[in-house]
Structure 1
Amino acid sequence: MAPLGRNGKPVGLDAQYVGRLPCSTCGIRSMKLPGQQGGLCIPCYAEECAAEGRRAATAGSWVTASFVGDPCLACGSRSVDANGWAFWCNSCDMQTAVALPPQ
């Protein structure tokens, strides 16, 4: 499970892991965002969010929409990046925070 802050919201990856360690799911791309069981690359983070959404829909509950993806879900560009707690597209300037910045 991703670490939670005092307010119960997820906390981002520590800067020492972002872009340095391999994704805990695929082991191919580098960690960019926090996941349930460790740091994830952008595509694995998007897949984890999609799976959570499918489970919630089946259970009749709501989940927060995720706009994180590679390619960008807004413009289709592959020029996307993340810093451990926020995601952005360099082409269309869409940004979204997915966790609180680590302290």
Structure 2
Amino acid sequence: MAAFSRNGRPVGLDVQYVGILPCATCGVRSMKLPGRNGGVCIPCYAEECTALGRRAASAGSWVAASFVGDPCLACGSRSVDANGWAFWCNSCEIQTAVALPPR
């Protein structure tokens, strides 16, 4: 399960896990961002956000836009990375924080 702060926001992955442990969902790529059930890779994070967005939209709720994806959803580059709480594209320089930095 993802860690949450006192105000209910997700907290990023500890640096010792980022890029080292396998994704909790696919087990193929390495953890880069916090997911619902542990650290996930960038593509699995994007899939989680898409699924949650569809559920919220069908329930009539507003959802925050997610720009996280591999390839980059803004420019299509595969030069993307994440550090456990933020995502960025090295080509178009889009950046987004997806969680609070770990303590």
Question: Above 0.5 in TM-score?
Answer: yes
Secondary structure (helix, strand or coil) at the match of 1:50 reads helix
The 3-state SS of whatever aligns with 2:49 is: helix
Distance 1:37 1:8 in 2: 16
Partner of 2:53: 53
Where 1:53 maps in the other structure, the secondary structure is helix
Amino acid across the alignment from 2:54:
R
2:88 paired residue number: 88
CA-to-aligned-CA distance 1:28-80 (integer Å, 9 cap, x gap) = 00000000000000000000000000000111111111000000001000000
3-state SS, counterpart of residue 87 of structure 1: strand
Distance in 2, matches of 1:53 and 1:27, equals: 23
- TM-score of the superposed pair, with normalisation by structure 2: 0.98
Q: Taking every aligned residue pair, what percent have the same amino acid on both sides?
A: 83
Report what 2:34 is aligned to: 34
Deviation at 1:82, TM superposition (A): 0.1
Corresponding residue pairs, total: 103
AA partner of residue 98 (structure 1): V
Structure 1: which 4+ aligned runs deviate by more than 6 Å?
none
Bigger drift between 1-10 and 76-85 goes to 1-10
User: What is the root-mean-square deviation of aligned Cα atoms in Å?
Assistant: 0.6
AA at the equivalent of 1:41: C
Secondary structure (helix, strand or coil) at the match of 2:81 reads strand
TM-score using structure 1 length: 0.98
* AA aligned opposite 2:9: K
Q: Distance in 1 between matches of 2:7 and 2:75?
A: 33
